[in-house]
């Protein structure tokens, strides 16, 4: 299997805007069809005018995402691009108030709305610290002629005890363009879950008979289950839970990586 790393086609100059989002698109290039997907960077940058004089009353939007420009098939590239745009807009809507006028708009419009809401907050609460930030980064962490895996990380802070970080792993089958789930990677989902649980216990220094809930984990009725947040990587399969999903914030986000060698009996070998 031929492996191809993410192709960064041209350096993108990061331009900061004062109150108005700017978008930078990398130049296109690479093979039009077949093989691993070729990506170019797309960046959206915006910040409030206050940032120039008062970092504590400043709002910033920093988005570093990707778009497809070659490789794979047209269907695959469309699926990836649509997924990334929908995911980005959904994330931005979650930090824009329900009554905001541009909630249904583009990523750029939502970035401008984020800054507008910050201006309202600063006007209403001039003595409050109002350092707001919304950041998203997307990386192609495993990109071959059979699978493309993207790692999407969001950082949001609009006040409160701590910022919020969310991570999403997604893998696409290059041949079909389909988003992959556990049932696509294994002949035995229950067996894969058992292997993942064994690795979680090992990572946390727990034995096979130790009580996970006593160790601080929150489990659904029926016990440990696989999350739908997962990705195929060179090492094997990564399962991810954000903070608060299966454990308190103090335990942080949780990753479980199952090496390829441990997948022999339960996983389809097509992606490694």
Instruction: Name the H helices within 36-147.
Output: 74-93, 107-124
Note whether 86 and 18 are within 8 A (CB).
no
Q: Output phi, psi for 257, to 5 deg.
A: -110, 125
Tens digit of pLDDT for each residue in 158-196? Answer: 987 788 999 999 999 999 999 999 999 988 999 999 999
The pLDDT of residue 23 is: 67
Q: Report the percentage of the chain scoring pLDDT > 90.
A: 66
Contacts of 220 (CB under 8 A, 6+ apart): none
- In 122-163 the beta strands, taken as DSSP E runs, fall at 132-143, 147-157
pTM, 2 dp? 0.86
Tens digit of pLDDT for each residue in 114-164? Answer: 999 999 988 898 888 788 999 999 999 999 999 999 999 999 999 877 889
Tens digit of pLDDT for each residue in 208-263? Answer: 999 999 999 999 887 999 999 999 999 999 999 999 999 999 999 999 999 999 99
Q: What angle do CA 233, 221, 200 make, to 5 degrees?
A: 35
Strands 230-233 and 164-173: unpaired
What's the CA gap between 243 and 248, in Å, rounded?
A: 7
């Amino acid at each position: 299997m031929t492996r191809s790393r993410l192709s960064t086609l041209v350096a993108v100059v990061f331009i900061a805007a004062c109150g108005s989002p700017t978008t930078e698109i990398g130049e296109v290039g690479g093979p039009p069809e077949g093989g691993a997907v070729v990506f170019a960077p797309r960046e959206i940058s915006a910040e409030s005018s206050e940032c120039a004089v008062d970092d504590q009353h400043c709002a910033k939007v920093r988005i570093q995402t990707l778009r497809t420009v070659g490789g794979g098939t047209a269907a695959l590239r469309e699926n990836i691009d649509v997924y990334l745009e929908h995911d980005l807009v959904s994330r931005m809507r979650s930090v824009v108030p329900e009554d905001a006028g541009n909630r249904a708009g583009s990523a750029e419009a939502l970035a401008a709305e984020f800054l507008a809401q910050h201006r309202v907050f600063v006007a209403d609460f001039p003595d409050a610290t109002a350092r707001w930030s919304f950041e998203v980064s997307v990386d192609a962490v495993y990109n071959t002629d059979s699978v493309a895996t993207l790692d999407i990380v969001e950082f949001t802070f609009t006040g409160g005890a701590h910022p919020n970080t969310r991570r999403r792993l997604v893998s696409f089958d290059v041949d079909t363009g389909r988003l992959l789930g556990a049932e696509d990677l294994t002949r035995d989902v229950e067996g894969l879950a058992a292997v993942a649980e064994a690795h979680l216990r090992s990572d946390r220094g727990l034995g096979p008979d130790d009580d996970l809930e006593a160790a601080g984990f929150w489990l659904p009725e029926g016990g440990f289950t696989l999350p739908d947040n997962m990705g195929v990587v060179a090492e094997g399969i990564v399962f991810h839970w954000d903070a608060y999903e299966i454990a308190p914030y103090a335990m942080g986000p949780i990753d479980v990586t199952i090496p390829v060698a441990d997948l022999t009996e339960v996983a389809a070998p097509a992606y490694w």
